[in-house]
Amino acid sequence: MKVILQRVLSASVTVDKEMISSIGKGVLAFAAVAPGDTEKEADLMAAKVLRMKLWDDEEGGKWKKSVGDIGGEVLCVSQFTLLASTKKGAKPDFHGAANPEEARRLYHYFVQKVRAGYMEERVKDGQFQAMMEVALVNDGPVGFVKASFIFLAFGGVCANRGGYIIGYAGVEEWSQDGAIEDTLDETDG
């Protein structure tokens, strides 16, 4: 599972010329499900969305507050193109994305985990498998990416004030026997 977190002043999703979701200050989370992803990856990514310290505190301490700490909102948007490969030629290859049925199930599970871990009414969603226009006003000028390469393709308007882009390419650390290690600890938010 790959999740890109974007700190925003506002964001919205429009489908067929109708705005279906919008948030004010908070986090826009683009999420993609890979083959073999399980509820464990979705649980870890949902926790990361809610616990990541993206805002400064009132005393000027850097990276001290999460979306919950500031009373912000979360907008989750399914975006399978995050898992595209562009290693060969100029055309993206989407074999790195889960099949639509499995992706839908796990994406909705992820959104429900974000809602369950926060205030349900402050977590909004796009529309799975729809052509969405995603509009956002970035908040910041600093970006963080935890992935070797991200092919980011989405329609919409972007009013850029810098951007906090935090990418999580899922759980990337593996134990000797190939089991997934829980990489979310108290020190990293």
3-state secondary structure of 113: helix
Structural domains of the chain, count: 1
Question: H helices then E strands: how many in the chain?
Answer: 2, 9
81 is catalytic: yes
Q: Cα–Cα distance between 94 and 35 in angstroms, integer?
A: 11
Within a 13 Å sphere around the CA of 130, how many CA atoms are in the beta-carbon half? 16
The one catalytic residue in 14, 81, 86, 183 is 81
Which of 36, 30, 8, 7 is CA-nearest to residue 110? 30
- Residue whose C-alpha is closest to residue 166's, from 152, 185, 154: 152
d(CA 128, CA 108): 9
pTM over cut 0.75? yes
Beta-bridge mates of residue 75: 28, 124
Residue 140 region, left (φ>0) first, then alpha (ψ -120 to 50), else beta? left
For residue 70, what are the domain limits?
A: 2-188
CA 34 to chain centre: 14
CA dihedral 73, 52, 151, 100 (to 10 degrees): -60
Token code pair at residue 87: 């290693």
Query: Over the stretch 98-151, which tens digit does the pLDDT of each residue have?
Result: 899 999 999 999 999 999 999 999 999 999 999 999 999 988 743 444 332 333
Which CATH number covers residue 41? 3.50.80.10
Burial of 86 (0-12, 13-18, 19+ CB in 10 A): exposed
Pick the more confident residue, 124 or 153.
124
For the chain, the average pLDDT equals: 78
